[in-house]
Amino acid sequence: MSRSAHPAGPRHADVLTEGHYSAPAADLNVLDEKVWSRTVTRDADGALTVGGIGVARLAEEFGTPAYFLDESDFRARCRAWSEAFGPDADVFYAGKAFLSRAVVRWLQEEGLHLDVCSGGELTTALDAGMSAERIAFHGNNKTVAEIERAVEAGVGRIVLDSFQEIVRVAHIARSRGVRQRVQIRVTVGVEAHTHEFIATAHEDQKFGIALADGQAAEAVRRALGLDSLELIGIHSHIGSQIFDMAGFEVSARRVVQLLAEVRDEHGVELPEIDLGGGLGIAYTSDDDPREPHEIAKALSDIVTRECESAGLRTPRISVEPGRAIVGPTAFTLYEVGTIKPLEGLRTYVSVDGGMSDNIRTALYDAEYSVALVSRTSDAEPMLVRVVGKHCESGDIVVKDAFLPADLAPGDLIAVPATGAYCRSMASNYNHALRPPVVAVRDGEARVIVRRETEEDLLRLDVG
Ligand code: LLP
C-alpha cells in the first residue's frame, strides 16, 4: 500500500476547544511506559518492538488485527501480586479477563490460583493441567451440569451466589459423598466509582447475597447447617477498573463485621475472606493505578485492624485480579485503511478490526490510547477517532486521540492495554474472524490462540 503522506486532516488547534480528550503528548513518538507492556520499546528505525521483535515482522508473520501478549510482563505481574500478598494470602487470577491453556500453564508456574466462571473456563483450566484445588468456581447462575463437573473435579472452592445455589451445591456434593469447600458471595452495599455495568457491590443487581437485612447472615446459617458444605469464608467483589481504595476498605470492614457476627452466633471463626478483583489499570496517561504492594498493604492493614478490634484471628486473604495482571501486557496491532478527514471536526481512521476485537469502547465508553508504531513521524498531531470496519457508527476503538497528520493507509497503529476483556469479549459480528493472541518473549513469538478462519465460521453453520 501507498506510504505517501495523506492530505492532512484538521489540526488539533482547530478543534481543541471541543470534546473531552487530553491535549496531545508533546512528542507522539514517545511511548508512555504506563500504558505499554514492559518490553515494548522503539528500535533504531523507530518501529515498535515487543519481546525484542519488531511490529513489521509480527504483522507479516501473524497478520493484523492481532493481539500481542508480552509473556515476561505477564509472568512478572503474577509474581508481583503473589510476592506483595505473601505466603499468608492467595492470588486467584480472574480467567474471564483472558484465558487460554498457555496462560493456565504460566499461572501454575508462577504459583497463582485461578478464578473461573463458566464450564468453558473450567475445561480450559483442567485441560491445561491446573490442579483443581487451586480453582475457585464463580457465577450467579451456574448450571447443575457445571456444578456437577466442578464438584467431581474437586475444585478448591465454589463461591455460592444465591440461596438456591446453597441448596443446589449441597445436594450435588451430598450425592457424590463429597464435602465441598464453599464461600458465600455477599454484596456489601458499596457504590464503586466505575461504570454502572461493572459495579457489583450495590444491592440492586444480580450478584451475591446482601449483607443488609441479615440476608448474608441467614445464608451463613443455612450453609453451616448442611453437612456436605464446608463453609471456608466470605467473598466480596465490588466492581472493576477501580482506583480508589476506599471501596475496598469499606468492603473489608463489612466482611470482617460479618465474620464477627458469625463467631458470636455460631462460635465459628471462618478462616478466609476473598476481596475480589477490580483494581484499575492505565489505559491512558491520565490513569494512575496502584502497585500490587500498595494494594496488598492497604487491604491487609484494614483486615488486621478490623479483626483485632473484633477479637478475631486474622483470616487468610485472597484476591482475584484479572485486568491488573493481563490488561497491561498486550496491545492490539491494526493496519490503517481508509482515512476520512472532516474539516473542523476530526479525522476518522479506519482499521482492519473494530468492535469485534474491542467492544469495551462501545459498551463502557472506555478510553484507550493509540500510537503509530511502524515508524516515527515528525508531522504535527491531528485529532483522530479510530474506528473499525463494522456496519455501525458506534464501532469505535479509540474515541479521541492524536496521531501524526502524515498517517497513511498501510501504516501500523497499536492500541495498548488490550490484554483484558478484549479477546475474551471478542465476537464474530459481521462474520469477523476473531484475531489471534500471540505470546512474545525473548525474541520468540508463538500463537497461543490462533486466528479464526472462514472454515471455522462455516463449521458452526450446519445448514
Ligand atoms: N472476581 C470476580 C468475582 C469478578 O466478577 C471479576 C470481574 C473479577 C474478580 C476480576 O475483575 P478485574 O480484576 O479483572 O477487574 N468486561 C468488563 C469487566 C467485567 C468484570 C467482571 N468481573 C470490562 O471489560 O471492563
State the pLDDT at residue 336: 98
Q: What is the CATH number of the domain that holds 162?
A: 3.20.20.10
Domain-embedded: residue 376 = yes
State the pLDDT at residue 235: 98
Is the CB of residue 94 below 6 angstroms from any atom belonging to ligand 1? yes
- Taking the CA of residue 200 as reference, the ligand 1 atom at the shortest distance is 5
Is the domain of 387 the same as that of 303? no
CA distances from 349 to 48, 346, 372 (A): 20, 10, 12
What is the CA angle 202-322-206, rounded to 5? 30
Is the domain of 191 the same as that of 312? yes
Domain-embedded: residue 87 = no
Instruction: Spot the catalytic one: 78, 117, 307, 391.
Output: 391
Is the domain of 307 the same as that of 228? yes
- Taking the CA of residue 97 as reference, the ligand 1 atom at the shortest distance is 14
Q: Distance from the CA of 27 to the center of ligand 1, in angstroms?
A: 34
Place of cell 475472606: 273
**What range does the domain containing 433 cover?**
12-70+328-460
Q: Distance from the CA of 10 to the center of ligand 1, in angstroms?
A: 38
Q: Distance from the CA of 40 to the center of ligand 1, in angstroms?
A: 26
Domain boundary among 321, 345, 379: 321
State the pLDDT at residue 15: 43
Is the domain of 304 the same as that of 401? no
- Taking the CA of residue 242 as reference, the ligand 1 atom at the shortest distance is 15
Is the domain of 251 the same as that of 289? yes
Is the CB of residue 423 below 6 angstroms from any atom belonging to ligand 1? no
Is the CB of residue 70 below 6 angstroms from any atom belonging to ligand 1? no
Is the domain of 286 the same as that of 151? yes
pLDDT in tens, the chain (463 residues): 333 333 343 444 344 444 456 677 779 999 999 999 999 999 999 999 999 999 999 999 999 999 999 999 999 999 999 999 999 999 999 999 999 999 999 999 999 999 999 999 999 999 999 999 999 999 999 999 999 999 999 999 999 999 999 999 999 999 999 999 999 999 998 876 666 665 666 777 899 999 988 999 999 999 999 999 999 999 999 999 999 898 999 999 999 999 999 999 999 999 999 999 999 999 999 999 999 999 999 999 999 999 999 999 999 999 999 999 999 999 999 999 999 999 999 999 999 999 999 999 999 999 999 999 999 999 999 999 999 999 999 999 999 999 999 999 999 999 999 999 999 999 999 999 999 999 999 999 999 999 999 999 999 999 9
Domain-embedded: residue 76 = no
Is the domain of 229 the same as that of 316? yes
Q: Distance from the CA of 304 to the center of ligand 1, in angstroms?
A: 25
The structural domain count of the chain equals 2
Tell whether pTM > 0.85.
Answer: yes
State the pLDDT at residue 297: 96
Is the CB of residue 138 below 6 angstroms from any atom belonging to ligand 1? yes
Is the CB of residue 323 below 6 angstroms from any atom belonging to ligand 1? yes
Tell me, rounded to whole angstroms, the distance of Cα 225 from its chain centroid.
36
Residue nearest to atom 9 of ligand 1 (CA): 277
- Taking the CA of residue 327 as reference, the ligand 1 atom at the shortest distance is 14
Is the CB of residue 91 below 6 angstroms from any atom belonging to ligand 1? no
Domain-embedded: residue 115 = no
Residue nearest to atom 23 of ligand 1 (CA): 421
Is the CB of residue 77 below 6 angstroms from any atom belonging to ligand 1? no
Domain boundary among 321, 350, 375: 321
Domain-embedded: residue 127 = no
Contact between residue 93 and residue 325 where contact means Cβ atoms under 8 Å apart: yes
What is the separation, in whole angstroms, between the first and last Cα of the chain? 38
Choose the residue to mutate in 96, 138, 245 for probing ligand 1, maximizing ligand atoms within 8 Å of C-beta. 96
Domain-embedded: residue 258 = yes
Is the CB of residue 421 below 6 angstroms from any atom belonging to ligand 1? yes
Is the CB of residue 115 below 6 angstroms from any atom belonging to ligand 1? yes
Is the domain of 407 the same as that of 448? yes
Domain-embedded: residue 132 = no
Is the domain of 217 the same as that of 315? yes
Choose the residue to mutate in 185, 240, 367 for probing ligand 1, maximizing ligand atoms within 8 Å of C-beta. 240
Is the domain of 437 the same as that of 371? yes
**391 carries an active-site annotation:** yes
Q: Say which residues have a Cβ less than 8 Å from residue 298's Cβ, sequence separation at least 6.
A: 245, 248, 249, 290
CA distances from 123 to 66, 112, 130, 326 (A): 25, 18, 10, 20
Q: Say which residues have a Cβ less than 8 Å from residue 181's Cβ, sequence separation at least 6.
A: 156, 157, 158, 230, 232
Is the domain of 370 the same as that of 385? yes
> What is the Cα–Cα distance from 215 to 195, expressed in whole angstroms?
26
- Taking the CA of residue 366 as reference, the ligand 1 atom at the shortest distance is 25
Place of cell 465454589: 158
Q: What is the CATH number of the domain that holds 332?
A: 2.40.37.10
State the pLDDT at residue 359: 98
Contact between residue 46 and residue 376 where contact means Cβ atoms under 8 Å apart: yes
Is the domain of 227 the same as that of 275? yes
Is the CB of residue 185 below 6 angstroms from any atom belonging to ligand 1? no
> What is the Cα–Cα distance from 279 to 84, expressed in whole angstroms?
14
- Taking the CA of residue 279 as reference, the ligand 1 atom at the shortest distance is 13
Domain boundary among 289, 321, 353: 321
